[in-house]
């Protein structure tokens, strides 16, 4: 077998594969007639190569009449191949036109999406500024009580909200709430919660349990898909005590020696069940030099990139070590430790509120962490 015959065999193999690929494209694009015609043209070209191979192998033995017949057949096949491929290309041309149109639409869609993303980023920054403006702008000090809060959102906006302000009767209302989920939806409910709490405070209520009960009713009526955990307390600096209620959100009280007691949740989170009993309040003394820590779960559930949670015990150790510092310093230092621990990769909003008792105006009172009692109901 000479080199010409070998080359023809290779050409036949390649054209057979090309015919199979054309048939496969037929199923992919659905342009059945176009790919059928192109496949037929390729197969006829394969036949023509087979004829050429036959002529090459039997060149010395072929008679003139057979040579003429083979030449005529080859010419007819070449003409038919040209016609089939031309017809197939004419039918397949709309595919490329559709692809070009799709590319144009994709570019337009991408440009529109980029414009929407930029507009959304601007709106999110505005929402963040609005949300931040609703939080306390600095510490609050009233008689022997100092209060400070710090918050960091994992996104532009967050679901954590805290507030503290004086009530008309001289007491101080403090709360920390955490809305389930993240993003703008959680931020909207957080701001809504703040609005409700301010409105309830204007009604003259001074019972945290009743306030939570009414807040729960409002949130359930709004039919939000997210729930809210909250720790709410009203401090009475004159009486050296505070009243608190909690819906799925604990707090921690440290005395001057660093001993800690957890103030457990008294009910389920808000916004789940309008008939839930969330109106329980408890009264507790304010120990000399004590620190009350309110923190969202993003603080103690923060974890390192390679695993390991920050933990509530680590948080309490930091508060304990800095309990002689101002409330704002304690809150900011705890936040800084959480960010350093997690290498700046926050997975949840982290918010802390610190209530610190600076001095005693009633030294004869014997304050102990164990002196917790139910608030008498009227």
pLDDT tens digits, one per residue of 207-251 = 999 999 999 999 999 877 789 999 999 998 877 889 999 999 999
| Arithmetic mean of pLDDT, 61-75 | 60
360 has a pLDDT exceeding 60: no
Average the pLDDT over each of 12-16, 48-52, 119-123, 370-374 and give the range with the smallest value: 370-374
Query: Which pLDDT value is given to residue 367?
Result: 34
- Rounded Cα distance between 175 and 194, Å, is 10
Cα–Cα distance for residue pair 144/146, rounded to 1 Å: 7
Residue-level pLDDT at 241: 84
Which residues on adjacent β-strands are paired with residue 166? 172
The terminus-to-terminus CA distance of the chain in angstroms comes to 112
Q: Is the dihedral of CA 326, 173, 143, 238 positive or negative?
A: negative
Contact indicator for 109, 135 with CB cutoff of 8 Å: no
What is the DSSP-derived secondary structure letter of residue 356?
Answer: E
Which of 36-45, 129-138, 151-160, 362-371 is least confident?
Answer: 362-371
Which stretch, 16-20, 48-52, 75-79, 197-201, has highest mean pLDDT?
Answer: 197-201
Q: What is the pTM of this model?
A: 0.67
What does R_g of the chain's alpha carbons equal in angstroms? 39
**pLDDT at position 350 over 70:** yes
CA–CA separation, 75 vs 278, rounded Å? 94
User: CB burial class (10 A; 0-12, 13-18, 19+) of residue 103?
Assistant: exposed
Encode pLDDT of 154-174 as tens digits: 777 778 999 999 998 889 999
CA 313 to CA 283: how far, in whole Å? Answer: 25
96-130: pLDDT as tens digits? 677 778 888 888 888 888 887 777 777 667 777 77
Res 316: pLDDT: 95
C-alpha dihedral sign at 35, 41, 44, 50: negative
Chain-centroid distance of CA 238 in Å reads 44
Write down the mean pLDDT value for the chain: 79
Residue % of the chain over a pLDDT of 90: 32
Please report which confidence band the pLDDT of residue 274 belongs to, taking 50, 70 and 90 as the band edges.
Answer: confident
Report whether pLDDT(328) > 80: yes
As a whole number of angstroms, the distance between CA 301 and CA 254 comes to: 21
Question: Do residues 349 and 312 make contact, with C-beta atoms less than 8 angstroms apart?
Answer: no
- Segment holding 141, helix H or strand E: strand 140-142
């Amino acid at each position: 077998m000479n080199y010409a015959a070998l080359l023809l065999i290779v050409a036949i193999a390649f054209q057979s594969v090309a015919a199979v690929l054309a048939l496969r494209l037929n199923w992919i694009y659905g342009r059945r007639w176009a790919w059928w015609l192109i496949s037929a043209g390729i197969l006829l070209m394969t036949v023509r190569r087979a004829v050429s191979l036959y002529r090459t192998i039997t060149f010395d033995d072929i008679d003139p009449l057979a040579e003429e017949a083979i030449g005529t057949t080859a010419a007819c096949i070449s003409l038919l191949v040209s016609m089939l491929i031309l017809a197939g290309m004419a039918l397949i041309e709309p595919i490329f036109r559709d692809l070009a149109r799709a590319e144009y639409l994709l570019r337009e869609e991408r440009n529109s999406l980029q414009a929407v993303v930029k507009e959304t980023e601007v709106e999110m920054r505005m929402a963040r500024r609005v949300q931040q403006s609703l939080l306390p702008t600095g510490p609050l000090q009233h008689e022997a009580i100092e209060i400070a809060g710090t918050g960091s959102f994992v996104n532009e906006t967050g679901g954590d909200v805290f507030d503290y302000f004086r009530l008309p009767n001289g007491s101080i209302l403090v709360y920390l709430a955490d809305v389930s989920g993240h993003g703008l939806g959680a931020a909207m409910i957080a701001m809504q919660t703040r609005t409700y709490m301010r409105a309830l405070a204007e009604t003259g209520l001074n019972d945290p349990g009743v306030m939570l009960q009414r807040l729960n009713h409002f949130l359930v009526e709004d039919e939000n898909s997210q729930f809210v955990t909250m720790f709410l307390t009203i401090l009475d600096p004159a009486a050296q005590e505070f009243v608190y209620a909690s819906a799925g959100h604990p707090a921690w009280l440290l005395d001057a020696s660093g001993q800690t007691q957890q103030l457990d949740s008294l009910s389920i989170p808000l916004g789940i069940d309008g008939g839930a009993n969330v109106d329980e309040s408890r009264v507790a003394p304010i120990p000399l030099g004590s620190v009350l820590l309110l923190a969202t779960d993003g603080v103690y559930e923060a974890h390192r990139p390679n695993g390991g949670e920050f933990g509530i015990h680590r948080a309490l150790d930091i508060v304990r070590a800095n309990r002689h510092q101002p409330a704002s310093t304690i809150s900011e230092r705890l936040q800084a430790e959480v960010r350093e621990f997690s290498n700046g990769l926050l997975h949840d909003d982290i918010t802390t509120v610190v209530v610190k008792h600076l001095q005693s105006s009633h030294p004869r009172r014997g304050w102990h962490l164990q002196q917790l009692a139910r608030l008498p109901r009227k």
